[in-house]
Amino acid sequence: MSRKLTLVFSIALSLVISFLLVVSPASAETYKVKMGSDSGMLKFEPSDLTIKVGDTVEWINNKLSPHNVVFNPSEDPKEAVKLSHKALVFAPGESFETTFDETGTFTYYCEPHRGAGMVAKVTVQ
């Protein structure tokens, strides 16, 4: 009886392990967006990004600071406040992140450089 129980347990354990190896959950990604192009232009690179729910965007200060990221409040005021990083970054390489938990298209801009066209969007699928 003990030998039979050990065999059943071994088979069950093997099935569970093989299932976990085959059906692993998709891991979230982190995407990088430069604030200021390498050539010194006042823009986000990339300016149009498509990601999945659960993914994170890291904005990195690149050139011509100060920069920040403010999401358009006319689309969804509560979501805009949650996603925005209004504090200005000055040092090259300084960064901040946002994880997106809902689908949608989110337009954002840099407050000091919005008039210069520093506007971009994230589409979350």
| C-alpha–C-alpha distance, residues 55 and 98, integer Å | 9
Examine the residue annotation and report whether 35 is marked as an active-site residue of this protein.
no
- Catalytic residue among 35, 41, 85, 110, which? 110
| C-alpha–C-alpha distance, residues 47 and 67, integer Å | 15
Examine the residue annotation and report whether 110 is marked as an active-site residue of this protein.
yes
Examine the residue annotation and report whether 1 is marked as an active-site residue of this protein.
no
Helix, strand, coil fractions of the chain, as percent rounded to 5: 25, 35, 35
Question: Running DSSP on this structure, what letter comes out for residue 1?
Answer: -
Examine the residue annotation and report whether 118 is marked as an active-site residue of this protein.
yes
Which residues form the catalytic set? 67, 110, 113, 118
